[in-house]
């Protein structure tokens, strides 16, 4: 099974959690795309849902697939969100933000009753190594990068990229990354949010090359 088929299989499995009448968080990225398309198929067959998009890209794809888009401010809770990840560790902690949508993704995840992560086997790791995306305001971004450097990171500006919120992304290399870094990074003036998602995923659906699809629940 190739990578795209693994992504599609994981996404289709995850969509089983979507039921008629739900408010559904729509993730961003190459795997979440398959979930949006599958939800669109279900809508065309008569299911009614309201989607809360985590990016302009996902909103556009959802509308194209006939999914009604809602404003997150109008709903106290989101029933289920289906999203991807750049890396997933054994505790179901995540690194997200490779696509640059980490701020909206984290807001939506925090408002969700259930956060379902879909991925192929390459994303499941024992130790994080994917550069940590940190969203920062444009004003003084070099000084923000200096503060990240003082914490042991090697930040690199994502050139030519601006988030949907009008901010920059610093992709940060590191030697070690522990759960406590999420709050420490966010305490730096100029940081909007970072791509460490700690204790936010409820279940990960991972597709493997051999055709298996595994569900891992957070303990």
Lowest mean pLDDT among 70-79, 98-107, 209-218: 209-218
Q: How far is CA 212 from CA 1, 3, 36, 78, 115, in A?
A: 10, 13, 22, 29, 21
| pLDDT at 86 > cutoff 90 | yes
Q: Check if CATH label 3.40.50.11030 holds for domain 132-192.
A: no
Please tell me the total number of residues recorded for the chain in this structure: 219
Which two structure tokens, joined as six digits, stand for 74? Answer: 């109008």
Q: For 145-203, how does the pLDDT look when each residue is reduced to its tens digit (9 = 90+)?
A: 999 999 999 999 999 999 999 999 999 999 999 889 999 999 999 999 999 999 999 99
Nearest to 14 by CA among 105, 89, 113, 117: 117
Q: What is the DSSP string of 20-58?
A: TT-EEEE--STTHHHHHHHHHHHHHTT---EEEESSHHH
Structure tokens, 139: 């004003």
Report yes or no: 116 and 17 within 8 Å, Cβ to Cβ.
yes
Give the domain ranges of the chain: 3-123+198-210, 132-192
pLDDT at position 1 is 81
- The rounded distance, in Å, linking the Cα atoms of 25 and 12 is 15
What average pLDDT does the structure give for the chain? 97
**Active-site residues: which are they?**
105
Q: Which residue reads 């988030």 in tokens?
A: 163
pLDDT confidence band for 30 (50 / 70 / 90): very high
* 57 vs 60: CA distance, rounded Å: 5
Residues 167, 168, 169: CA angle, nearest 5 degrees:
130
pTM of the model: 0.95
User: What number is the average pLDDT over the span 31-51?
Assistant: 97
Q: Which residues pair with 24 in a beta bridge?
A: 51, 80
Residue 209: pLDDT over 80: yes
pLDDT of residue 106: 98
Residues above pLDDT 90, as percent of the chain: 97
Spatial distance between the Cα atoms of 47 and 141, rounded to a whole number of angstroms: 45
- Report domain 3-123+198-210's class: alpha beta
Cα distance between residue 72 and residue 15, in whole Å: 20
């Amino acid at each position: 099974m190739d990578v795209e088929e693994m992504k599609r299989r994981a996404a289709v499995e995850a969509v089983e959690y979507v039921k008629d009448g739900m408010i559904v968080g729509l993730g961003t990225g190459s795997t979440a795309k398959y979930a949006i398309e599958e939800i669109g198929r279900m809508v065309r067959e008569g299911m009614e849902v309201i989607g809360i998009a985590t990016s302009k890209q996902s909103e556009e794809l959802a509308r194209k697939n006939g999914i009604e888009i809602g404003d997150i401010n109008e709903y106290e809770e989101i029933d289920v969100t289906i999203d991807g990840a750049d890396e997933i560790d054994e505790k179901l902690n995540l690194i997200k933000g490779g696509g640059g949508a980490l701020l909206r993704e984290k807001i939506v995840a925090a408002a969700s009753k259930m956060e379902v992560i879909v991925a192929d086997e390459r994303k499941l790791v024992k130790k994080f190594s994917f550069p940590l995306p940190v969203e920062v305001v444009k004003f003084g971004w070099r000084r923000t990068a200096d503060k990240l450097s003082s914490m042991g990171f090697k930040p690199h500006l994502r050139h030519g990229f601006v988030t949907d919120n009008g901010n920059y992304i610093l992709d940060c290399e590191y030697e070690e990354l522990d759960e406590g870094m999420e709050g420490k990074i966010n305490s730096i003036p100029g940081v909007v949010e970072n791509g460490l998602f700690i204790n936010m995923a409820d279940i990960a659906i991972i597709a493997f090359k051999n055709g298996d699809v595994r569900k891992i629940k957070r303990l």
